[in-house]
A and B are shown apart, each in its own frame.
Chain A
């Protein structure tokens, strides 16, 4: 596992998402209230770019005719055919055990901790005062 610094934390505020290329892999990084999550940006169905999908919640019901929105902002719907994925787990809603997007661990790390290394920062310079989004591959 190598730690790849992809952006400064302040460049991806809560509710945001951004696509990065890390060692040739397209990885969509999401900020859910300060927690970062990384998903391979390739829908397991037919490869749709998840990062461009609708960021939404889970529509649930206990009984027919009822609609209840939960977990707002934690579900991404694939822009191609609308499959829903849980950003926190990568699991699809329809077949969570069989269909899931590959996840990559993402952390916010201080520049101070990073400089002790090792890390890779291909596109940005790391300074000790900043906090960074780090993807592990």
Chain B
């Protein structure tokens, strides 16, 4: 298979429910969840029964997508010949309104992933999920797990309470640099602020199609607030952003920066250069042009071969059969996406 030996930078083991996480919680939180009867911390971005949430042949009988270990192992790892796969569990810890409850769910999710997934297959790696609503607690969680080299990234929802360039979030970036952990921004939000800059959409369709917009906002914020100047070694991985929105954004950001640069004098390189240095993007889903022959041209506009990372986005339904690699990408870039770029992005994979 073409993907043999590839590093899959985005797969999603499913958290079956809060009950699964209870053994990884303190006595207080165990009783709090049981007494209050709280469950259902699945983010609204992937409603379990929506077709996009799971490919038909990857559904788990009687369970939520991605919750069957052996099935994931067979379908996501064995089948594609995967060398490493990075688990990005999407569950409510980073989003809970209560900071401390969010932190408890995150810690439990991380410990559960380590014990029940990472420990059972040496090909698996994971992101540290952190409470995005409480950067100080996010840093504590990073500190707690940083010595475990199987955690290769810090995962945040693409949008939180404020734009990510604000200094409120800088302690997370400081910890990320300190421990050589890229920050993965995964499509999604705290699901209590309007998901578009234009207010609340009425349809899931609108919400889903518009989801890449927030990546533009976050980039602008991270660049102009000076976060990327301050944290030169910080790497950001945009997970499920769709990729091809980026070239037009870079042109616009560069053009405007040239004229209004004195407003942000700490930005000393053109935005496109900063983005090429700091940002990586996973390749599923990919918003490709209708004619595969045009895809290479579109990707060339990124101006760098180092930015794209292979991913299946398992079990989300982004492609059929074995077509994890979109048609129209040249062999050299395919190799970089599958191996070289992930290894360069996730320093810990090489250790």
Contacts and interface: CB of A to CB of B under 8 A. Distances in A.
Interface stretch (B74-82, B180-188, B255-263): B255-263
Interface in B185-234: 225-227, 229-230
A93 B266 contact: no
Given A59-B265, A94-B270, A64 B225 contact: yes
B226 A65 contact: yes
Nearest to B260: A82
Contacts of A116: none
A36 B234 CA distance: 45
Highest count of chain B CB atoms <10 Å: which of A60, A62, A93, A94: A94
Nearest to A45: B258
Q: Summarize B's interface: helix, strand, loop or mixed.
A: helix
A63 B266 CA distance: 6
B167 to A, nearest CB: 8
A61 B270 contact: no
Contacts of B259: 81-83
B125 to A, nearest CB: 32
B230 A61 contact: no
Interface string A76-120: 000001111000000011110000000000000000000000000
Contact of A60 (B226, B230, B258, B265): B265
Nearest to B225: A64
Contact of A64 (B229, B258, B262): B229
A129 interface: no
Contact of B262 (A59, A62, A92, A95): A59
A60 B267 CA distance: 9
Contact of A94 (B227, B229, B258, B265): B258
B229 to A, nearest CB: 6
A93 to B, nearest CB: 7
Nearest to A80: B259
B266 A84 contact: no
A66 B261 contact: no
Interface size of B as a range: 10 to 19
Interface in A21-75: 59-68
Nearest to B255: A81
Nearest to A92: B258
Nearest to B258: A94
A84 B260 CA distance: 9
A93 B229 contact: no
Nearest to A81: B259
Given A59-B265, A94-B270, A64 B260 contact: no
Nearest to B224: A64
Contacts of A84: 261-262
B265 A63 contact: no
A64 B261 contact: no
A65 B266 contact: yes
A61 B261 contact: no
A66 B268 CA distance: 13
A83 B258 contact: yes
Contacts of B265: 59-61, 66-68
Contacts of A62: 266
A81 B258 contact: yes
A93 B261 contact: yes
Contact of A66 (B260, B266, B270): B266
A93 B230 CA distance: 21
Contacts of B258: 81-83, 92, 94
Given A63-B226, A83-B258, 10 more contacts: A61-B265, A64-B229, A65-B226, A66-B265, A67-B265, A82-B259, A84-B262, A94-B258, A94-B270, A95-B270
22 contacts: A59-B261, A59-B262, A61-B265, A62-B266, A63-B226, A63-B229, A63-B230, A64-B225, A64-B226, A64-B227, A64-B230, A64-B266, A65-B266, A67-B265, A81-B258, A82-B260, A83-B259, A92-B258, A93-B261, A94-B257, A94-B258, A94-B270
